[in-house]
Amino acid sequence: MNVTQLLLIKTFTKTESINQELTTIADRNMKYLNQTEATNIDIELFNDYKFSVDQLMELAGQSVAHAIAKSFPVEKLSSKKLLVCCGPGNNGGDGLVAARHLSLMGYTPVIYYPKMVDKELYRNLVHQCKSMDIEMVQSVDLEQTKDFGLIVDALFGFSFKPPVRPDFLNIMDVMRRTDVPIASIDIPSGWDVENGPPEDGIKPALLISLTAPKLCANQFNGKFHYLGGRFVPPSLQEKYKLNLPTYPGVDTCVQI
């Protein structure tokens, strides 16, 4: 190795160190949202900034897929099969979008969607997944999870209020008991958006916060925490003093 190569390596290492330090400083100042703030930001994105639900869902779901690929590369998983558990709301829609993108990244997603929403948006998302030959199942038990390298938790978002509805009691129990790592979208399902996990809450290895982290993320102690959804207008960031970290390059997600 010559002197020029050594200098380049040292410069790159120093730059990486500075970037990590700046990200750490940004993380300390980043705002964690309560439920009302999270709801109001969504309302403003729809009403004031004229984003559509499906537009934000596509951006969020794509960033989720990218965060999963960074945290759990397909070649390092015990199986390239992913179990994507989708709920009836927007969080479930994010999961459907993420499954479609993950299928293009070399993974084999299998969608568990016990309560499909009879609205055009969700029918279209399901149609898109089926058109890409993504398998959909109506039941999952603990033994079956051994076939998967990762479980994607897209059941409940920040509007969740306990108790868990009967349709989802089984899958929640499965996620509590499985040894397969879990990637939760925005909120670990069953957690209180502000107060964090219940006593028997799931313990995801990866949390992908969307728009900005929610207060419960302060109690997340898994391996990876990403911020996804590179779509928040600067003026909205300033209004709510979000202090979001800088996304690297052209990435749609950033580790926090």
Please give the annotated binding residues for K(+), written as ranges. 91, 153, 189
| Residue 1 in this model has a pLDDT that exceeds 80 | no
Cβ burial of 2 (10 Å; 0-12, 13-18, 19+) is: exposed
Write out the residue range of the structural domain in which residue 143 sits: 31-255
Asked whether residue 3 is assigned to any structural domain, the reply reads no
Cα distances from 129 to residues 56, 104, 110, 118, in angstroms, run: 18, 11, 10, 16
Total domain count, the chain: 1
Please give the annotated binding residues for (6S)-NADPHX, written as ranges. 90-94, 157-163, 186
| Residue 106 in this model has a pLDDT that exceeds 90 | yes
Instruction: Pull the structure tokens for residue 178.
Output: 């499985």
Asked whether residue 19 is assigned to any structural domain, the reply reads no
What are the strands of the beta sheet with 150-154, ordered from one edge? 135-137, 108-112, 81-86, 150-154, 182-185, 206-210, 224-228, 253-255
Asked whether residue 112 is assigned to any structural domain, the reply reads yes
Asked whether residue 11 is assigned to any structural domain, the reply reads no
Q: What is the pTM of this model?
A: 0.88
Q: What is the CATH number of the domain that holds 42?
A: 3.40.50.10260
Please give the annotated binding residues, written as ranges. 90-94, 153, 157-163, 186, 189
Segment 220-245, tens digit of pLDDT: 999 999 999 899 999 999 999 999 99
Asked whether residue 25 is assigned to any structural domain, the reply reads no
| Residue 5 in this model has a pLDDT that exceeds 80 | no
Asked whether residue 211 is assigned to any structural domain, the reply reads yes
